[in-house]
Amino acid sequence: MSFILPFIVLIIVVVFIHEYGHYYFAKKYGVGVTDFSIGFGKELFGWNDKSGTRWKICWIPLGGYVKFFGDRNVFSQADQEELLKKYNKEDQEKLFVTKPLYQRSLIVAGGPIANFVLAIFIFLFIYMFAGKDFTPAIIDEVQKDSPAEIAGMKKNDIILEIDNNKVESILDVSKLILMSTSEIVDFKVSRYDQELLLKVKPKIVAGVDNLGNKINKRIIGIKLSPYNNEINHKKLGPARALIESFKEVYFVTTSSLKYMGSMITGSGDSSQLGGPIRIAKISGQVAEFGILPFISMMAYISISLGLINLFPIPLLDGGHLMFYAFEKVLGKPLSQKTQEGFFRIGMFLLLTLMFFATFNDLKDLGLF
């Protein structure tokens, strides 16, 4: 239960925000919404609002959906004329398919947009009320014969950048090394007021993270310490906190894309790809450390959900946006048969990804 309850809270919040993004833009442009569901399957409980929308919680909390008025396939324009015959003039105004292309696109993109907004809001809250660390990353020790020593790193070097990412805190170093997908990691260091560019080839070793989970660590062989043991942790004003929040969301997004790209090319570590089981495990572990680490994890999961949903894969929001791009270029929607073919491909890709992620989760639990 220590894992399940935090996981359910995390999923409900992130999924609700995602679906509310769709709901918000749908209502903004006059599209009728019949159902707003958190979860799939049988309804556990729910209620109807004044506009007739059924808000409900279902017993499988691994996702959700917003169902629009009158739509069998809410994203298909191919059968628009047939659909319009079934409704009077007033009801036709509530149909998704009658809306202009830009409105349909915003309604579909609203879910991922909402996920990114949630992450920005969480980071903004943390930086304003808990603060952000700006302690310089100073090398206290370079291990003998380590990749760092071979590359020329020395004691008292100040790490300024890693792979062109600015190091603002001593806490950034391990994160940037871990998330790097390059075989050679570029370090910019300051030594006696001179800036040097050093190329380090990390060792890949099996280890565990701070939560005790198995990971493949990238080790370079340095120890860091704050200068004169002084920690520079400060609360930020609203403007600076907002800038730092955008920077963090941008960094996580670009790093995730690089990681996924490395897996496609075969150079990335696919064993670190996890699914719901691993998320449940880690969310329970993180929740034990307090509310701030937990909501931080929620922000990262929200970014991941928003990003994945923008992939041009049918069944995902990005797939529907891809169809709209075709519609814009061709001047008409793709045929129903063509869309169905894309949907079959999308289903295959998603099932393959889910199978692979679940296999990694079970392997992580020692079941394989």
187 within some domain: no
178 within some domain: no
367 within some domain: no
Q: Per residue in 150-179, pLDDT tens?
A: 999 999 999 999 999 999 999 899 889 888
Number of domains within the chain? 1
Q: Per residue in 144-153, pLDDT tens?
A: 999 999 999 9
Task: State the pLDDT at residue 249.
Answer: 95
Domain of residue 19: give its range: 4-129
Task: State the pLDDT at residue 116.
Answer: 97
18 within some domain: yes
- 349-364 mean pLDDT: 72
The dihedral built from the CA positions of residue 359, 362, 367 and 368, taken in this order, carries a sign that is positive
Task: State the pLDDT at residue 69.
Answer: 86
Q: Per residue in 25-47, pLDDT tens?
A: 999 999 999 999 999 999 999 99
117 within some domain: yes
Task: State the pLDDT at residue 74.
Answer: 44
Task: State the pLDDT at residue 92.
Answer: 83
Q: HSE-up of 236 (CA within 13 Å, CB side)?
A: 17
197 within some domain: no
Task: State the pLDDT at residue 337.
Answer: 82
199 within some domain: no
Whether residue 262 is predicted with pLDDT greater than 90 in this model: the reply is: no
- 336-361 mean pLDDT: 79
Active site residue 19: yes
Q: Per residue in 94-151, pLDDT tens?
A: 888 889 999 999 999 999 999 999 999 999 999 999 999 999 999 999 999 999 999 9
Confidence of residue 75 (pLDDT cuts 50, 70, 90): very low
347 within some domain: no
